Structure formats: C-alpha cells, structure tokens
Amino acid sequence: MKYACVCLVALLSICGAANADPFTMNSSLGVWASIVPPGSATGVGTSQIRWGTPAGGSGQSGYDYDAAAPPPVALNTEVLFLVGTFVHHNQPVTGDSITGATLDITLDMTFGSTSVIETFAYNFQHVETPNSIPCQFGPADGATNTVPCDDRVSILNSIPDQTFTVGGTTYTLDLIGFSQDGGATVSNKFFTTEEQNNYAGLYAEVTSNFTPTVPEPSSVVLLITVIGAGLACTRKRWRRA
C-alpha cells in the first residue's frame, strides 16, 4: 500500500489547501464614531453613547462596546470569533433618540511575522419604539398587546473598502451579528427588553480572497491511474509472498 498512500497524499495536496489562514488577534478597540441624527447623543468618540431624558430612575438609554479581553487568541480566517460585547441600556426616556450609529472597530492582529493594525467601520440601525399598544416588535414573549415594548438594533452593513493585504492576500473583517448563546446562533438583529441592560456578543470573521488551486481534470485522472497501478502491484506482491 506504500505507493498508493504516497499518490493519495499527492492527490489531496493538489486539490488545494483549506481556505483558512492562521492569525493571532492581539486586541480589539471600539468607539462610536458617529450618530444619526447628529447631536442626538453624547459620548461620540468613546466606547459609550447615551441619549434621552430619563423617564424614571434608571438613567439614559445608550450603547456600550466592550472589547474582547486579552490574552491574544490564535484564530483562523473564515471562522467566527468573539470580537467584543455589545450592550444596549434600554431605559424609558423622553426627548431625542438616535436612529443609527457607526461603530469603528480597530483590530491588532499578527499574520505570521507581520503585524497588522486596521480599523473597520460598521453601521447600526436603532428603532426606539413607543411603549404603547400595539407593540411594533412585541416584548420578549412575542405578544403585541402588552407593554413595555422591545426596541430593535440591527447591523446594516460594513462601510466599503475596508481591506488590508498581507503577502499578496487581501483580507477584511466581516461583522456577522449578535449572539446570546456563545456564537451558536448569530443574527444581525437584536431585540432588546425595556428597562434592562441587554448584552450580546458581537461575532465576526476575517475573510480573504484566497482561492484554493483546483487541479486540471487530466492531472486527477493521471493520479487515479497511478494509484490503481500501485494497488495492483501491491496485490501482486501479496499473492507472491
């Protein structure tokens, strides 16, 4: 079986390596770079924004971004990982509310011996619902005829042209969505309960434009032929032994 095994390894090799490059995420940093409409919240340029006049004793509504804690984490491209924690402080407020915000996430990464620090921007949409029947989204139990009503936060998209190149391969960071179960289920929408601090992990993946090499059909046929010949030789030797 020696010759067959060698040929099989060769066949697997030319079929292309998995589309995943290893890298290390050393740290992440996130700040709320802008809000919509302008002036509707405080804290722009920091990891926390706040808005509205408290209608009770629980303070303003707001967003927090808490970066994933060190130490550095070894990862692969095309694999989901926790980039940080998103918090929506959903409190009863009056007055102005945001309808959107842009989060800038800066990653410090290492690809082999190459250090990379890149910033990526993502748009969030905010729907602040009035606590009146019928609820637009419903409370956590899904009903529409009871208050208070849930708000909704959505990740709309990443702002284009956020790529970097290492060793001829182009990479970017795709922010996939929110998860409250450790990444088992991820959604780009997060429904948040009134009068609570709502936590969700933000999950992302580093993607690349790397394309595995696909062998020519003739190469595959040749290797299969060689493997067949090797197996035949092996069987012949076994019979003679």
Is the predicted pLDDT of residue 145 greater than 90, yes or no?
A: no
CA distance 214 to 205: 24
- Residue 74, both tokens: 């070894």
Give me the residue spans of the domains in the chain. Answer: 2-11+215-240, 19-208
CA 61 to chain centre: 25
What is the dihedral angle through the alpha carbons of 19, 21, 26, 27, rounded to the nearest 10 degrees?
A: -20
Q: Which amino acid is at 38?
A: P
Q: Which amino acid is at 176?
A: I
Q: What is the mean pLDDT of residues 25-53?
A: 96
pLDDT > 70: percent of the chain: 74
> What are the backbone angles phi and psi of residue 109, rounded to the nearest 5°?
-125, 160
Compute the radius of gyration of the chain from its Cα atoms.
26
Q: Can you give the pLDDT at residue 144?
A: 56
Q: What are the CA-CA distances from residue 61 to residues 79, 91, 117 (Å)?
A: 33, 5, 32
> Would strands 163-166 and 22-36 be described as parallel, antiparallel, or unpaired?
unpaired
Q: Can you give the pLDDT at residue 43?
A: 98
pLDDT > 90: percent of the chain: 58
pTM of the model: 0.77
* pLDDT digits 0-9 by tens, 146-162: 678 889 999 987 776 78
